[in-house]
Structure 1
Amino acid sequence: MLDTVIKWPKITLMFIFILVVLGVLTLLQLPQREVPEFSADIASVSTPYPGGSPEEVEQQITIPIEEAIDGVDGIAEVDSVSTSGFSNVVIELTDGVDRTNVLNELQQEIDAAERDFPATAGEADLGEQQTIGALSSYHILAEDRDDLYEAREMMEDWQSDIESIPQVDSVDIKGFPDQTFLIDADADELFDAGFQVPDIIEAVEEELNTQPLGIKETNGENVQLSLSTLDELDDISSIFIGKDEEDEAVYLEDIAEVGPVHETPEDLITFEGTPALTFTIFQEEGANIPQVGRETHERMEELAAEELPAELTMERFYTQETIVDEIFGDLSFSFSLAVLSVIVVTLLGLNVSSAVIVALAIPTSVLIGLIPLPFFNVDLNQISIIGIIIALGILVDDGIVVGDNIRHKYRTGAAPLDGAIQGSREVRTSIITSTLTIVVTFLPLVFITGSNGDFIRALPTVLITTILASTIVALTLVPIFLIWRQKKRVRTKKKSRSAPKDGLFGKQFDRLSDWYSDTVLRKVVKRPWKIAIIGFILTSALYALIPFIPVEFFPSTDRDEVTLEIRMPAGTTIDETENTLEEMKDYLLERDEHIYETALYAGDGLPPLFGDGISNGGEETGNLLLRVDREEQSAEETIDRWTDELQEEFGYAEPELTTIEAGPPVGAPIAVTLQGPDVDQLIEMSNELTEDVQDLPDSGTVRDDMGPLRPTIVYEPVREELEDSGITMSEISEQISLRTEGIPLLTFRTAQEAIDLEMTLDQVTDGEEIDLEEIELPADQSGEPDGPPELVSLDELVDPEETEEIPQILREDGERTITVRVFPGTEDDGQLEEDVEALAASMDNDAGEDYTVTAGGETEQRTDFIIELATLFILVLFLIYIIMAIQFYSLTLPLLVMSTVHIAGAGAVTGLFITQTGLGFMALMGIVSLAGIVVRNSIVLLEFIKQRRKAGYSVEDAVIEAGRVRLRPILLTAFTAIGALTPVALSGDVLFVPLSISIISGLLFSALITVIIVPAVYTAFALKFGSKE
């Protein structure tokens, strides 16, 4: 069939042209983004329980939710946090499940569990976790924070406006405090009027909690019935309570202060010292970042110009659009250099017509390879573009091999069409086979699980589609072009035997090929066993360099942002947290001239712009974002410079400096998980382990996720007084709650908003203590019905005791858990990992059967990934072996081909060692990629040896002649791949330098060593066992 394709060039070119046009259209429509979209399938259930202690929240809210969802299929892990007044259950779904069905089933189970919640508990809210990374974020600034709070309604309108833009998923506004409508009754006024708290509750609910009246048929038509009710918040104060002893009407405003109040804000934000709100925009999955970024920014500027009052200003704080444009600019430059490098390398060994073929093959193959990408949910990002750059050096290989062999036929006098058909036919099998090896090499990488798989999946997908396209181009477009070129030469009476000069160094390549075959290979075939054994010993010895290569799973990005996270002692107010962050900011600005911008986030911390944010945030947590002039001081240098000093100066705040990782977040480098039934015992174990780890050299920051104990006032009941007075614990808790958190009533809804109503009684303001003497309850008068009831003050019924209690209870899969995290002070943390693991194992042995202590963290994730990658690598080797066995109909020759993978791996290790480049995720991906790339040369070389043997050559002569013919394309294909990746290796990109170095060094080493070892091994086995293959 391929011969027919070559014979009908016009039809073939028409189809290629159509595919190229489709490729161009695909290129114009593919979404652009910084990195591939990756997010764990995670949902969370958030439930407020005002006034509840961590133990009460755990027992009343968290455990019922966990038990309710326990039977739902498709759940991989359930973690929870029960803190004062709030429960958060995080649910990780199993990979590959139907997300919608699982979430629907979860919602049903949670709704059922919610019916048994305490009356004061809020609604359980099931939400999905945002994909890490936002489209853009803006600061709304004002000199007075109250001016910001007054802009709530305007910001909510902006939110609706921006969310209506196509490809915008949601908008998150941080910095507004929650707003409630408070009814704060005056105890004296209430009791003097002859009323009690239940009278107010009953009056409010009976006024606002009305039933719909329905529709009634009247005079032959359906008429809607409705009852006129209060529709403005201000009208609530006029609710009728009853009549006092003088028969005067008493309204709510007579006995209570009524009005909206701001609760303590979840975030206090300042940008460059000015109070701020953040307005963060999140894109939909698959959105085109530059396009939607421009649209949203234009609309934000329009809204600011039209509606923003004079006292407010807006500044764009972050935009992924700018980052994407910068990255695509750098990668486009690297891509152009790569194309130029490939063409230049081709010109060194081949003639101008070959360079033209390469120039045509590159864009044609790339554009055709883009066509399937939308069907695999792959867009244009750093990873996919790097995949194209890697493919550049490979996709021209087939064209070089086909073109070189066709020209060889022309030099022997073949006619244009016959020479093209014969030349392509001879290498067709080896080209298709080598293409299949690349496909089976990269195909298993598509199935890597988790966020690592989401992150890297674009690379193998792009390589597979592009290499398949290049094979089509090599077997169709290249022969057609050479036929046209040869016919033109014949018409101009140029003899086909007088071939044009083969490149700038064509003669040098010829002399090198002659020297290699006549000198090197003749010596090799004389002592094949000796050379093969020495070669394998030397290459195997190079793997001993692995322990001396630095290990870095994902490097830090080369960005301006450094994030400082603090966690103050439990019980710290958000104002004190903000003051501490301000002190740290001033401390750094006074001493570091390279910090040019700061943003402060007390409370829940930064939006998910530069990572996954603060876990279990609250009033005692916060972030300080530093932007550093990276030309003078990198983010890593900033972290190294200030980590120890900040920990010494502000140790009570547990400061931790981080920057953005070039990949999915993997958490702390070292983590030890403690699990067991008793929280106090877990805290004791955690404190002991923390102290032991801190005593280790270079332990850096060590902290657990429990944190310090929270200051607590425990009211111990005086049982005898309770029994004598007949007063219950429920009445006492209600009275204290009325003075502090308040009692939730109902939600008041209007056409514009919904606001919660709460009631308090002589509410104690922040900073004041509860005076138990002033709180009185009527004693039970069942034995003495006549006369007024005796009033008993709370100081007679309870004794307050100041103590400390746990700030939160954490659970993993139903087990109470504390995790100790270690952030080493040095990058080389191998010894520290071993020491921590030893401490964890020792504690686990002594802990008893009810408690477990396990080490994990980034180390565990890295180990899991390496195991998964090793499994896939073994699968790749088997698949390559099967293809080779089918092609050569031999079980031994495939082993010879596979030896090149061993050689290339040794070269990659050597390159990483010499350059001291981190052995991490991308370096390992490069080594795996080598498996499919380097076997191509062995396949073509052995195929030529096989053809020469069939032609009657002896083993030695077949090896020598094959080496003479194949050395040039072997070196050229290796150098084109190296040339394509060299601009990336020199770019300084922290993510792709390890990948490019591992591939370049592996290819170079393989090209130089393979041409010695493969002929030696083949000759040794052929002579020893008499192989005719």
Structure 2
Amino acid sequence: LDKFKALEKEDSKLHLNVLMNQGVYIDMIVNSVMQNMIWGAILAILVLLLFLKDIKPTIVIACSIPLSVVAAIVLMYFTGITLNIISMSGLMLGIGMLVDNSIVVIENIYRLRAEGYSIRKAAVEGSKQVTGAIIASTLTTISVYAPIIFTEGITRQLFVDLALTIAYTLVASLVVALTFVPAMASVTLRKTKDIRHPWFDAAREWYGRVLEWCLRFKPLVLIIAVVLLIGSAALSLSKGLNFMDMDMETNQLSVTISAKEGEKLTFEELTQASDDVIQRISKIKGIKTVGAMAGGDSTMNLMGGGNDSVSMYILLDEDSKVKASDVEEKIVSRTKDLDCKVETNSSSMDYSSYFGSGLSVRIKGNDIDTLQKLAKEVADVMKQTKGTVDVDDGLEDMEPQLTISVDKEKAAEYGYTVAQVYQLVSAKMADSKSATTISTDIKDYKVYVQTQEQTDTKLDDIRQMTFTHTDKDGKEKEIPLTKICEMKDTTTLSTMKRDAQTRYITVSCGVDEDHNVTLLGNKIQKSMDKLNVPEGYHIEMTGEDETISDSMSQLVLMMILAVIFIYLIMVVQFQSLVSPFIIMFSIPLAFTGGFIALLLTGQEVNVLAMLGFIMLAGLIVNNGIVLIDYINQARKAGVSKHEAIISSGKTRVRPILMTVLTTVLAMLTTALGIGDGSDMMRPMAITLIGGLVYGTVLTLIVIPCIYDMFHREKNMVEEEL
């Protein structure tokens, strides 16, 4: 831009307008993510202040946030991860999680200090008591991203940066929680005052009574939890799946002007039509600049595309706050009576176009005529399925063709074979061959020799071809080729695509806003299964539906491996198979909350929501680890099982709620769609918030019930033996 301005100063007659600048989107997204990160940090600090009612421990944790972020960015730098929308979204999602470890440590130090421990002993013992739990919880959270190395394709490309960024953030937060937080607490918490939390104490006592009741009716609690899981999952998945919702509000539009279907426009008519369009749309409020170029889009221009359309780039006035969708509607309404086709598009940042949009069906086989027949049948199936738009049978680019069929018996009467007949036709149409090459300093030029007959050969000449036949009397006669051949005027594809040396035609369609691509794809697949497909031909779904299917299968594999890793890490932590098994029940509880949140917000399950479920698996077990670890410690100290469950639940409810609320509030701005770059990550944030809120509440109830069912009323040491 600075260079453009310098050129304009050099020449007063020169004026340059930037019609498309992708850097605008980068700035919008970076600013939005930064705002969400700052607000997330502020909300997390407010939660701490609300629960602790003391500025000193709050300051300690507040200082741990920038330390962890800086450490994560340093690790990103040395591993070559750039600051992009994916990696910065990882930082944004990690803001709430990075204070979790510090909260657990400072809360435990704060509690011991209130019980009369010296500051040094409280700092040492407080961090020591929870070191194992927070290391295990951090490893379980990080481990959910490890299976990404086993995935492939677009899933891996999209989420490697996100996974590594969150992992770096959590590792940094763990180091800070075990070093910086105890050290700073030993200074700031030297003098403490007795602070009462009447509202929280009342809530904790109420929770204790609820837990008592639930322990008496454990089967009922478990049945309700299972019913809610199955019901929410079924309802959510019944809405279908999609890939990503990545349409972002933009100040750039594109308009394509072309001939109506079945018509042709000359270049002069196209330019006149574009002038008419510009004249009408330039008066629309909010439009700042309009630029046009002939020959289709810029990609077509670079490839030498023909002048069959005119492309326009429209810049909107940012100060007018006019929505691109509203401008689109006005453009269509003001140009609908023109004798040309006007199409608008504001999805300049809709990345789903790179992954395939809508539904596509690939028909593979050898014979072109059979492929065309099947393509028309598939297109008819799409047209008859409600919800499809802009059905394309892949047969638009057709050329006239003369088909010659030789009658073997008639040809034999004149002493010709089928091959000889085709040789006659081939000789008439033979391409000229390179006779020599002229070499210059710049380029080599091939020289072709062509006869006059070859130059003037037309289809009519082929139809009127004759061949020489010698009869029994030795007389030569010119016999029309049509005596032994049947000639038909047909059409064929001008180009033929191949996959693994097999011809194919692609039939495609769009999906309207009221239907889901996967559900519609399933309907079309069922209808296509009824088609009579000849042997040697194959019909397969491609496009967005295939992308979703592949991505989901990769994520399901990732989830299975993540759950296995989580369990193994907890087995090492607890030196037991039973306690980790109990904690694993918190994962389906969190999934229930994720499905309910998606249903309440009207979101479909997509790739990012699925990644949110995987992240939930690593996050929600942290609460169970802290709770079960404390119950086990109490039982090892000689406390009865029932009393250990109740007292541990009441003791650990505060740090559990604090860690969950900081994570939830840090993601709240993203879940609400605040900011230009938050729409893409919104399903993930909604899934995480719903899963954490519901999963935490149920973890505090269901996990103690399951623990009570699996453990006998014995001393913990005896039970382990």
The reply on whether 1:444 has 2:147 as its aligned counterpart is yes
- The one of 63, 72, 75 aligned to 1:372: 75
Counterparts of 1:556-705 in structure 2 under 5 Å? Answer: 556-558=246-248, 559-563=250-254, 576=266, 579=269, 583=273, 586=276, 590=280, 593=284, 596=287, 598-600=290-292, 602-603=294-295, 605-607=297-299, 618-619=305-306, 622=309, 624-625=311-312, 627=314, 631-635=321-325, 638=328, 660-662=349-351, 665-705=354-394
Counterparts of 1:548-559 in structure 2 under 5 Å? Answer: 549=239, 551-558=241-248, 559=250
- What is the CA-CA distance between 1:812 and the residue it aligns to? 0.9
The reply on whether 1:476 has 2:179 as its aligned counterpart is yes
Match of 1:842, SS? coil
Change (3 A) 1:514 1:882: same
The reply on whether 1:348 has 2:50 as its aligned counterpart is yes
Aligned to 2:203: 512
Report percent identity of matched pairs.
Answer: 24
- What is the CA-CA distance between 1:858 and the residue it aligns to? 0.9
- What is the CA-CA distance between 1:446 and the residue it aligns to? 5.1
Change (3 A) 1:513 1:424: same
Match of 2:355, SS? coil
- The one of 4, 11, 27 aligned to 1:325: 27
Aligned to 2:652: 966
Change (3 A) 1:1009 1:676: same
The reply on whether 1:871 has 2:557 as its aligned counterpart is yes
- What is the CA-CA distance between 1:760 and the residue it aligns to? 11
Q: Could you report, residue by residue, the CA deviation over 1:22-54 in whole angstroms, capped at 9, with x for unpaired residues?
A: xxxxxxxxxxxxxxxxxxxxxxxxxxxxxxxxx
Q: 2 CA distance for matches of 1:875 and 1:772?
A: 64
Q: 2 CA distance for matches of 1:569 and 1:758?
A: 42
Change (3 A) 1:678 1:566: farther
- What is the CA-CA distance between 1:696 and the residue it aligns to? 2.8
- What is the CA-CA distance between 1:445 and the residue it aligns to? 3.0
The reply on whether 1:852 has 2:538 as its aligned counterpart is yes
Match of 1:315, SS? coil
Change (3 A) 1:668 1:385: closer
Match of 2:356, SS? coil
Q: 2 CA distance for matches of 1:708 and 1:771?
A: 22
Change (3 A) 1:360 1:744: farther
Q: 2 CA distance for matches of 1:450 and 1:398?
A: 34
- What is the CA-CA distance between 1:361 and the residue it aligns to? 0.4
Decide whether the 8 Å contact of 1:571 with 1:620 is kept in 2: no
Aligned to 1:994: 683
- The one of 831, 836, 842 aligned to 2:524: 836
**Structure 1 residue identity aligned to 2:123:** A
Counterparts of 1:91-102 in structure 2 under 5 Å? Answer: none
Q: 1 CA distance for matches of 2:262 and 2:437?
A: 27
Q: 2 CA distance for matches of 1:623 and 1:447?
A: 46
**Structure 2 residue identity aligned to 1:828:** H
- What is the CA-CA distance between 1:544 and the residue it aligns to? 2.5
Q: 1 CA distance for matches of 2:593 and 2:91?
A: 23
Match of 2:496, SS? strand
Q: 2 CA distance for matches of 1:854 and 1:578?
A: 43
**Structure 2 residue identity aligned to 1:471:** L
Q: 1 CA distance for matches of 2:583 and 2:592?
A: 15
Decide whether the 8 Å contact of 2:57 with 2:188 is kept in 1: no
Decide whether the 8 Å contact of 1:365 with 1:473 is kept in 2: yes
Match of 1:336, SS? helix
Match of 1:483, SS? helix
Q: CA RMSD in A?
A: 4.4
- What is the CA-CA distance between 1:604 and the residue it aligns to? 6.0
- What is the CA-CA distance between 1:900 and the residue it aligns to? 1.4
Aligned to 1:925: 611
Aligned to 2:93: 390
Match of 1:318, SS? coil
Change (3 A) 1:562 1:318: closer
Q: 2 CA distance for matches of 1:675 and 1:369?
A: 49
- The one of 906, 919, 931 aligned to 2:592: 906
Aligned to 2:477: none
Decide whether the 8 Å contact of 2:388 with 2:510 is kept in 1: yes
Change (3 A) 1:760 1:661: farther
Q: 1 CA distance for matches of 2:132 and 2:536?
A: 63
Q: 2 CA distance for matches of 1:526 and 1:802?
A: 85
Decide whether the 8 Å contact of 1:595 with 1:627 is kept in 2: no
- The one of 205, 216, 234 aligned to 1:526: 216
Decide whether the 8 Å contact of 1:366 with 1:388 is kept in 2: yes
Q: 1 CA distance for matches of 2:268 and 2:653?
A: 68
**Structure 1 residue identity aligned to 2:42:** L
Decide whether the 8 Å contact of 1:922 with 1:995 is kept in 2: yes
Q: 2 CA distance for matches of 1:417 and 1:340?
A: 29
**Structure 2 residue identity aligned to 1:901:** I
**Structure 2 residue identity aligned to 1:399:** S
Q: 2 CA distance for matches of 1:526 and 1:1003?
A: 26
Q: Could you report, residue by residue, the CA deviation over 1:313-339 in whole angstroms, capped at 9, with x for unpaired residues?
A: 432222233322222222211111111
Match of 1:316, SS? coil
Q: Could you report, residue by residue, the CA deviation over 1:806-859 in whole angstroms, capped at 9, with x for unpaired residues?
A: 21111111101101011123341355323321233233xx22212111222211
- What is the CA-CA distance between 1:684 and the residue it aligns to? 2.3
**Structure 1 residue identity aligned to 2:510:** F
Decide whether the 8 Å contact of 1:451 with 1:664 is kept in 2: no
Counterparts of 1:179-218 in structure 2 under 5 Å? Answer: none
Q: Could you report, residue by residue, the CA deviation over 1:613-657 in whole angstroms, capped at 9, with x for unpaired residues?
A: 8999943765735547595444499489969x9899868x99999
- What is the CA-CA distance between 1:933 and the residue it aligns to? 1.0
- The one of 320, 324, 337 aligned to 2:39: 337
- The one of 206, 223, 227 aligned to 1:537: 227
Decide whether the 8 Å contact of 2:243 with 2:352 is kept in 1: no
The reply on whether 1:810 has 2:497 as its aligned counterpart is yes
Structure 1: unaligned runs, 5 residues or longer: 1-296, 490-495, 608-612, 764-768, 774-799
Match of 1:515, SS? helix
Match of 1:1001, SS? helix
**Structure 1 residue identity aligned to 2:370:** Q
Q: Could you report, residue by residue, the CA deviation over 1:765-797 in whole angstroms, capped at 9, with x for unpaired residues?
A: xxxx99999xxxxxxxxxxxxxxxxxxxxxxxx
Decide whether the 8 Å contact of 1:562 with 1:628 is kept in 2: yes
Decide whether the 8 Å contact of 1:570 with 1:708 is kept in 2: no
Change (3 A) 1:452 1:317: farther
Decide whether the 8 Å contact of 2:358 with 2:511 is kept in 1: yes
Change (3 A) 1:663 1:933: farther
Q: Could you report, residue by residue, the CA deviation over 1:256-305 in whole angstroms, capped at 9, with x for unpaired residues?
A: xxxxxxxxxxxxxxxxxxxxxxxxxxxxxxxxxxxxxxxxx434554565
Q: 2 CA distance for matches of 1:617 and 1:676?
A: 31
Q: 2 CA distance for matches of 1:670 and 1:948?
A: 58
Decide whether the 8 Å contact of 2:274 with 2:310 is kept in 1: no
Aligned to 1:824: 511
Pick the structure with more strand per residue.
1
- The one of 573, 577, 583 aligned to 1:897: 583
- The one of 701, 709, 720 aligned to 1:1012: 701
Q: 1 CA distance for matches of 2:37 and 2:636?
A: 43
Change (3 A) 1:540 1:674: closer
Q: Could you report, residue by residue, the CA deviation over 1:144-165 in whole angstroms, capped at 9, with x for unpaired residues?
A: xxxxxxxxxxxxxxxxxxxxxx
- What is the CA-CA distance between 1:691 and the residue it aligns to? 3.0
Decide whether the 8 Å contact of 2:597 with 2:687 is kept in 1: yes
Aligned to 1:937: 623
Q: 2 CA distance for matches of 1:616 and 1:712?
A: 27
Change (3 A) 1:568 1:836: farther
Pick the structure with more helix per residue.
2
